[in-house]
């Protein structure tokens, strides 16, 4: 979604809030004007402000090339109008305080304290100017009629504003979770990226140090992956990486963490798994990958894997040492013919 589209969504939200707020806010102002026997022209201004202005402001902002900036102008215009109405009501206490408070809540929701302070300055300036033009008429007493007229605004608007803020906050949390997931995921394969995978391995290492719970790493890479790219192009190489990622997801438990460590190198963290069990998992992965692109009409290029397996133990001073042992096992699998699983430096399962 583009920047202008986001701006138009903000304008639409502000329009709904303005329509509701000014519609409800008309009631206490109208109650005071009725008691003051206000002239017809003042009633006309109230109707224009409460019923017509929200839609004019929306139309003006929607047609603007900079809708957010135009809506900020509309917010300031709201404050100017409220300042004039407070003076026109002769500072009737409850309606004036209630309307000023509701608008302050709305300004903070729209732009924080900076927007609120600007709005208050304009509101106070307009209120003083209007009061000067009306000889500083002062009638702060609020009777039951004024109180009753304020009830709809006090009961409905805060609930609606809180609902809007809750929905907005929930959307922000969802976006943050999506961003966090993207930051932890390799975009090509959908597996954990290197940073996330290393965090998981370190967490299992710490769990072993605390509780002596078993865990095993598998490191693997594709035999002759450079030749696949050179002969068939990078698109074929990417398709092969995605196919191997799918094999890993199908071959592992939900608690296991497969990751792409870079290029054609992958890793798997297996919690609560012994060396022997991890070697069986690695062998299953090797066999499934060996069948890729052979006799099934698949466009994915055939390949094989070399895999190194290492179980965490007291000989590992840190997670780097643990990963190093798995890497040594992987190197031995490569050195002794490829397409095999090496579970430790002294033992190679060859095919």
Sketch the domain layout of the chain as residue ranges.
Answer: 3-182, 194-349
Domain 194-349, second-level architecture: 2-Layer Sandwich (3.30)
Compute the distance between CA of residue 66 and CA of residue 9 in angstroms, rounded to an integer: 12
Q: Are strands 257-262 and 265-271 parallel, antiparallel or unpaired?
A: antiparallel
What is the pLDDT, as a whole number, of residue 7? Answer: 81
Kindly indicate the confidence band of residue 297, based on its pLDDT and cuts at 50, 70 and 90: low
Average pLDDT in the chain: 90
**Per-position DSSP letters for 70-134, written without gaps between them:** HHHHHHHHHHHHHHHHHHHTTT-HHHHHHHHHHHHHHHHHHHHHHHHHHHHHHHHHHHHHHHHHT
What is the pLDDT, as a whole number, of residue 232? Answer: 83
What distance separates the 2 farthest-apart alpha carbons in the chain?
101
Judge whether residue 347 has pLDDT over 60.
no
In this predicted model, what pLDDT tens digit does every residue of 189-247 receive, in sequence order?
999 999 999 999 999 999 999 999 999 999 999 998 888 887 888 888 899 999 999 99
Note whether 349 and 340 are within 8 A (CB): yes
Compute the distance between CA of residue 175 and CA of residue 162 in angstroms, rounded to an integer: 20
Kindly indicate the confidence band of residue 15, based on its pLDDT and cuts at 50, 70 and 90: very high
pTM of the model: 0.62
Q: Can you tell me the mean pLDDT for 99-120? A: 90
- Residue 303: closest CA among 324, 319, 323, 287: 287
Whose tokens are 């729209």? That residue is 110
What is the pLDDT, as a whole number, of residue 4? Answer: 73
In this predicted model, what pLDDT tens digit does every residue of 110-122 receive, in sequence order?
888 999 999 999 9
Q: Which residues of 295-325 are buried (b: 16+ CB within 10 A; e: fewer)?
A: eeeeebbebebbbbbbbbeeebeebeebbeb
């Amino acid at each position: 979604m583009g920047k202008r589209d986001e701006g138009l969504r903000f304008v639409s939200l502000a329009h709904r809030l303005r329509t509701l707020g000014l519609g409800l806010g008309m009631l206490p102002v109208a109650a005071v004007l009725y008691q003051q026997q206000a002239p017809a022209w003042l009633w006309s201004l109230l109707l224009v402000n409460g019923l017509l202005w929200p839609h004019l402001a929306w139309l003006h902002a929607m047609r603007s090339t900079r809708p957010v900036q135009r809506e900020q102008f509309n917010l300031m215009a709201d404050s100017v109008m409220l300042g004039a109405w407070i003076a026109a009501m002769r500072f009737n206490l409850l309606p004036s305080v209630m309307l000023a408070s509701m608008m302050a809540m709305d300004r903070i929701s729209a732009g924080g304290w900076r927007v609120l302070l600007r709005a208050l300055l304009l509101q106070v300036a307009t209120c003083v100017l209007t009061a000067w033009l009306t000889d500083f008429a002062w009638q702060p007493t609020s009777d039951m009629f004024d109180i009753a007229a304020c009830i709809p605004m006090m009961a409905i608007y805060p609930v609606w504003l809180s609902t809007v803020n809750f929905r907005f906050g929930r959307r922000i949390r969802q976006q943050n979770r999506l961003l966090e997931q993207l930051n932890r995921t390799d975009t090509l394969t959908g597996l954990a990226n290197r940073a996330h995978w290393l965090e998981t391995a370190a967490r299992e290492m710490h769990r072993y140090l605390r509780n002596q719970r078993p865990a095993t790493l598998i490191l693997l890479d594709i035999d002759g992956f450079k030749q696949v790219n050179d002969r068939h192009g990078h698109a074929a190489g990417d398709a092969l990486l995605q196919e191997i990622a799918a094999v890993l997801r199908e071959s592992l438990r939900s608690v296991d963490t497969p990751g792409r460590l870079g290029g054609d190198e992958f890793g798997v963290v297996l919690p609560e798994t012994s060396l022997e069990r991890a070697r069986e998992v690695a062998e299953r992965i090797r066999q499934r990958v060996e069948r890729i692109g052979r006799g099934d009409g698949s466009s994915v290029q055939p390949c094989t894997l070399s895999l190194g397996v290492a179980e965490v133990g007291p000989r590992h001073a840190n997670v780097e040492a643990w990963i190093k042992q798995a890497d040594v096992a992987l190197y031995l699998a490569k050195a002794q013919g490829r397409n095999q699983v090496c579970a430790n430096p002294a033992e190679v399962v060859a095919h």
